[in-house]
Amino acid sequence: MANLLIGHVFVKMFKTKALIRLTSLVAIIAWVILVFSDVTVIYSDLKSLPPDIPTWLPRLMLDIFIVSLFYHYKFRIERDESLNFTDLLWKVFATGLIATVVSLAVRLVLFLLGNTTLASNILFMDIVYQITLALFINFLLAAFTSWKRLILYQKSKWLIRAWLVFELLLLSILVYDSIHIVISETITTLAIVIIGLLGLVLSANMRWVAYLNFKQKWTSLLLLLLSIFYLFYFLYSVTMWSDQISQQSKIFLDFQSHVFNIALLAFVLTYMTFSFLVILFNLPTSSVFEQKLEEVVNFQRISQSIQTEQNEESVYNILLESSVSSVFADAAWLEIKGRENEQRLFTHQITEKETKDIHAHLEKNKVKGALEQNSDKTKNLSKHLGSLKSTRFRSLLAFPIKVKEETIGTLALLKELPDGFNKEMTRIVSAFANQAGISIENFRLMEEAFQNARYKEELKIAKTVQKSLLPAKLEQDADFEISAFSASADEVGGDYYDTLRISDHEIALIIADVSGKGTTAAFHMSQMKGIFHSLAQQGPSPKDFMAKANKALVYCLERGSFISATYFVINTKTKKIHYSRAGHCPVLYYTTSTHQAAYLKDRGTALGMVRNNDYCNFVEDNEFPYATGDVMILYTDGITEAKNNKNEEFGNDRLAQALQQNATKSSKEIEESVIEKLYEFSGSEDINDDYTSMTVKFR
Amino acid sequence: MVHIKRLQEDGIDILSIVGEIDASSSIELDLAIAKSVGEGFKKILVDCSALEYISSAGLGVFMSYIEELRDKKISLVLYGLKERVFNTFSILGLADLLNIRSNRQEAKTLVNELSV
């Protein structure tokens, strides 16, 4: 598709180039025929012979010459989008310059020839005349096409139609000229009057002038002036030659009898003169226009600043600069109440001390609401500055800056002149202040969005941290096998399990659940891991472990946060399990001898709930023997509290049942069956809490 | 969602919790207790008979007040807990730390005894 498009553009470019060449070739051929035919006609006239060629041929050739040149410029100038106003004028000027230089060269040749017979030969004079006329028409058509673009710069339907009528009328005149039949004097006059009026009306379209800046205006004036000069030079030359020739022959191609040429000349000259005058008179006001343009650019800068700038400060600085440059203020300052209500001051060409002086002065004079943050009206406070001697400023203008209907700051502009601000300036700066308010609001909204994104990113990191805190490998022993399962919900929870070998016959196990979610949960979980790995190594009794862990955790758990945990030490020598439960879900234990799965009964308070040494009174040491085939399941409340679509909980009974039915299998298989039951029950893969379990099978 | 009603009776502030307390609604429980404490009540009863569920965050709220209540000599008694809710308290070991009674009368008696 893109290739096709590019291809199309290439073909079009190629076509345009070919057309430009073709039209110039046609024009040259037509002109050559024109010259020969005209010379022949004059020659026959001089010798009073009937001409070999029809007398209308020169006129026809002239028409072809004009039409092909017209199209030549249409393709060269009208279709070229890259040309701006001064480029167009330059094209006209350049064509005029080349034509003039060529014409002058011809004159030089004539001068060198002196008073020879050739120079006074009428046929030779005709050739010279034809050359000059061709150059002249060339120049006129180039100007005509350029004027068309300038006139149609801001098109309207009406304007396009008027122009079309104008061109058609010109064409009809051209045809009328060549057939050389006088239809009626009145019709001819009427046509000329209509063309003249239409030309005048069209010439009034000068909107492009307003878009020129000061420098471009000067350039345009110069180009136009020189073009007018060329025009008059050619007019003079062509008239001179034709007068000389007409003294000897009457039937040569006299441009003065060619209405089209006259009409074209009149139009080109009129528009040239109009443009020149309009630009000239627009020169003094061009600075105003440029000022307006700069305001628009400044405005854009403020509104774009949120996309490109890194912080609010840039918005403030742009606002300050833009306002100062738009109203020619001598100094300015900007007071802003930041997001944390802190006051900030931005100054331009004024010291902080001066602003404080002015502040103090206004306060002393009880100027109400002048620079107060909650003033919602733009105020011209110039009159109050008159009484402040220490300042060089005599005009002051203050504007509120609002974000979400709340005034967050004040923009103050100062001038050394008294009454330095007019209504226009007030309006402009007020618009700036409004725009800045919007920009700041947008900026703050964006910042919030960033914060949210950052929070999400943080959660992601927390989740990775949480995952990495869980052991990759669990301690195994000849006496038992352990498998573990963990699945987490979208939110980061704080489920933790781990194993550690204390000695060749003692292995420590832990399962814990940190209250709360998110990054803090992951953080507390990592603390729990640290405590487990450092304390368990020393082989304390489970109760001792809990007491020490509680002591350590009290310092880092905030009020209301706690960790529930169960800590086990499996002794393979004595075949006993020694454990302590601190607020965690009761242990599910399957005894092979009775074929019963039951929850161990004991008491214990979660870590972090009791913040003093009394804690050891709230946890117990428990001990019981294990036998081959026994199974122990450690889990978190996510499993027992998992809900189905009827809002029922999975519960302790279903868990115990699942274990009892699968107790003879390996630890991995038991775990898989339990998880399968769980998912079957909840009826969905989406979990709303963390599922964590650790299954120990003794052998 | 949770709704907490407050009612004063014989100088006792009674907070009735209706609904479920999870991480987000635990803030309301926190605010209600804070208000009661802030208003200077020395006896607070928490009616949990309409409390359907309490998450660990909700338990955290009760837990976080234990020390403050002891320091300010304020007695707080919970009553009417459903079995499920009571289990949550007891598994975490909070049942040992808080005063829990089965009905309003017992709770009232206890709160009066405690503040003597």
Q: Verify whether the Cβ–Cβ distance A609 to B63 is below 8 Å.
A: yes
The pLDDT tens digits for A251-267 are 666 666 777 888 888 89
CATH code of the domain in which B102 resides:
3.30.750.24
What average pLDDT does this structure show over A387-412? 79
User: Is any Cβ of chain A less than 8 angstroms from the Cβ of B67?
Assistant: yes
Q: Which residues contact A369 (CB under 8 A, 6 or more apart)?
A: A375, A377, A379
* B51, part of any domain: yes
Q: Which of A448, A483, A508 is the last residue of a domain?
A: A448
Q: Verify whether the Cβ–Cβ distance A606 to B93 is below 8 Å.
A: yes
* B87, part of any domain: yes
Look at residue A366 in the predicted model and tell me its pLDDT. Answer: 62
Q: Find the CB nearest B97 among A516, A564, A609.
A: A609
Q: Verify whether the Cβ–Cβ distance B93 to A605 is below 8 Å.
A: yes
Look at residue A181 in the predicted model and tell me its pLDDT. Answer: 62
* A13, part of any domain: no
For A522, the token pair is 């992951």
Q: Is B50 exposed, middle or buried (0-12, 13-18, 19+ CB in 10 A)?
A: middle
Q: Which of A448, A481, A501 is the last residue of a domain?
A: A448
Look at residue A380 in the predicted model and tell me its pLDDT. Answer: 58
Together in a domain, A177 and A283:
yes
Overall domain count for chain A? 3
**Residue-level length of chain B:** 116
CA distance A278 to A272: 10
Together in a domain, A272 and A325:
no
H helical segments located in A180-256: 185-203, 214-246
Q: Which amino acid is at B56?
A: S
* B94, part of any domain: yes
Q: Which of A511, A515, A543 to mutate to test the interface with B (most CBs of B within 10 A)?
A: A515
What average pLDDT does this structure show over A556-568? 88
Task: Check if the beta carbon of residue A264 is closer than 8 Å to that of residue A195.
Answer: no
* B71, part of any domain: yes
Together in a domain, A271 and A387:
no
* A431, part of any domain: yes
CA distance A114 to A111: 5
Q: Which residues contact A361 (CB under 8 A, 6 or more apart)?
A: A384, A385, A387, A388, A391
User: Is any Cβ of chain B less than 8 angstroms from the Cβ of A601?
Assistant: no
* A128, part of any domain: yes
Together in a domain, A256 and A393:
no
Together in a domain, A550 and A682:
yes
Look at residue A442 in the predicted model and tell me its pLDDT. Answer: 80
User: Is any Cβ of chain B less than 8 angstroms from the Cβ of A560?
Assistant: yes
Alpha-carbon gap: B57 to the closest alpha carbon of chain A (Å): 6
User: Is any Cβ of chain B less than 8 angstroms from the Cβ of A584?
Assistant: yes
Task: Check if the beta carbon of residue B81 is closer than 8 Å to that of residue B89.
Answer: yes
* A482, part of any domain: yes
Look at residue A386 in the predicted model and tell me its pLDDT. Answer: 66
Report angle CA A629, A631, A636 to the nearest 5 degrees: 170
CA distance A18 to A24: 10
Look at residue A309 in the predicted model and tell me its pLDDT. Answer: 55
* B92, part of any domain: yes
CA distance B13 to A156: 81
- Sign (positive or negative) of CA dihedral A145, A147, A149, A155: negative
Together in a domain, A240 and A380:
no
What average pLDDT does this structure show over A125-152? 88
Q: Which residue has the higher pLDDT, A52 or A267?
A: A267
The pLDDT tens digits for A339-396 are 677 788 888 888 888 888 887 777 777 665 545 444 444 555 666 666 666 778 877 8
Q: Verify whether the Cβ–Cβ distance A603 to B96 is below 8 Å.
A: yes
What distances in angstroms separate CA A283 from CA A219, A297, A337, one per listed residue? 12, 22, 45
Together in a domain, A273 and A318:
no
Residue ranges making up the domain that contains B57: 2-106
CATH code of the domain in which A370 resides:
3.30.450.40
Contacts of residue A515 in chain B, CB cutoff 8 Å? 56-57, 59-60
Alpha-carbon gap: A611 to the closest alpha carbon of chain B (Å): 9
Together in a domain, A444 and A474:
no
Q: Verify whether the Cβ–Cβ distance B92 to A609 is below 8 Å.
A: yes
* A197, part of any domain: yes
Together in a domain, A333 and A279:
no
Q: Verify whether the Cβ–Cβ distance B92 to A606 is below 8 Å.
A: yes
- In three-state secondary structure terms, A543 is helix
**Residue-level length of chain A:** 699
Q: How many CB atoms are closer than 10 A to CB A134?
A: 22
Report angle CA A512, A514, A519 to the nearest 5 degrees: 130
Together in a domain, A672 and A584:
yes
Overall domain count for chain B? 1
Those of residues 33-52 in B touching chain A at CB distance below 8 A are none
* A50, part of any domain: no
Residue ranges making up the domain that contains A190: 84-288
Look at residue A542 in the predicted model and tell me its pLDDT. Answer: 94
Together in a domain, A136 and A251:
yes
Contacts of residue A559 in chain B, CB cutoff 8 Å? 64
* B114, part of any domain: no
* A498, part of any domain: yes
User: Is any Cβ of chain A less than 8 angstroms from the Cβ of B18?
Assistant: no
Contacts of residue A603 in chain B, CB cutoff 8 Å? 90, 93, 96
Look at residue A374 in the predicted model and tell me its pLDDT. Answer: 43
Q: Which of A222, A253, A288 is the last residue of a domain?
A: A288
What distances in angstroms separate CA A224 from CA A44, A93, A218, A237, A574, one per listed residue? 43, 7, 10, 20, 113
Chain B residue closest in CA terms to A516:
B57
Look at residue A196 in the predicted model and tell me its pLDDT. Answer: 87
């010439």: which residue's tokens? A203
Residue A158's nearest CA partner among A196, A201, A192 is A201
Chain B residue closest in CA terms to A620:
B93
């769980």: which residue's tokens? A678
Percent of residues, chain A, with pLDDT higher than 90: 24
What average pLDDT does this structure show over A486-499? 82
Alpha-carbon gap: B59 to the closest alpha carbon of chain A (Å): 8
Look at residue A221 in the predicted model and tell me its pLDDT. Answer: 92
User: Is any Cβ of chain B less than 8 angstroms from the Cβ of A554?
Assistant: no
Q: Verify whether the Cβ–Cβ distance A582 to B64 is below 8 Å.
A: no
Q: How many CB atoms are closer than 10 A to CB A499?
A: 22
Chain A residue closest in CA terms to B92:
A583
CA distance A650 to A577: 28
């009791």: which residue's tokens? A610
**β pairing state of B99-101 and B75-79:** parallel
A500-526 b/e (C-beta count within 10 Å ≥ 16 → b) = bebeeebbbbbbbbbbbbbbbbbbbbb
Alpha-carbon gap: B43 to the closest alpha carbon of chain A (Å): 21
In the DSSP assignment, the letter for residue B60 is: H
Chain B residue closest in CA terms to A651:
B84
What average pLDDT does this structure show over A99-119? 83
Alpha-carbon gap: A293 to the closest alpha carbon of chain B (Å): 54
Q: Which residues contact A413 (CB under 8 A, 6 or more apart)?
A: A323, A324, A327, A329, A331, A332, A396, A397, A398, A399, A421, A429
Contacts of residue A690 in chain B, CB cutoff 8 Å? none
Contacts of residue B37 in chain A, CB cutoff 8 Å? none
Contacts of residue B64 in chain A, CB cutoff 8 Å? 559-560
Q: Find the CB nearest B60 among A560, A586, A604.
A: A560
Look at residue A273 in the predicted model and tell me its pLDDT. Answer: 92
Together in a domain, A406 and A533:
no
Region of residue A176 (left: phi > 0; alpha: psi -120 to 50; beta: else): alpha
Helix axes A423-469, A312-327, angle to 10 degrees: 170
What average pLDDT does this structure show over A585-606? 92
For A158, the token pair is 């009406």
CA distance A603 to A618: 8
ipTM of the complex: 0.85
What average pLDDT does this structure show over A442-455? 85
Chain A residue closest in CA terms to B59:
A560
Q: Does residue A211 surpass a pLDDT of 70?
A: yes
Q: Verify whether the Cβ–Cβ distance B63 to A562 is below 8 Å.
A: yes
For A357, the token pair is 């002086």
* HEC sequence for A288-327: HHHHHHHHHHHHHHHHHHHHHCCCHHHHHHHHHHHHHHHH
Contacts of residue A564 in chain B, CB cutoff 8 Å? 56, 91-92
For A126, the token pair is 């005709």
Q: Verify whether the Cβ–Cβ distance A603 to B97 is below 8 Å.
A: no
Contacts of residue A610 in chain B, CB cutoff 8 Å? 66, 97
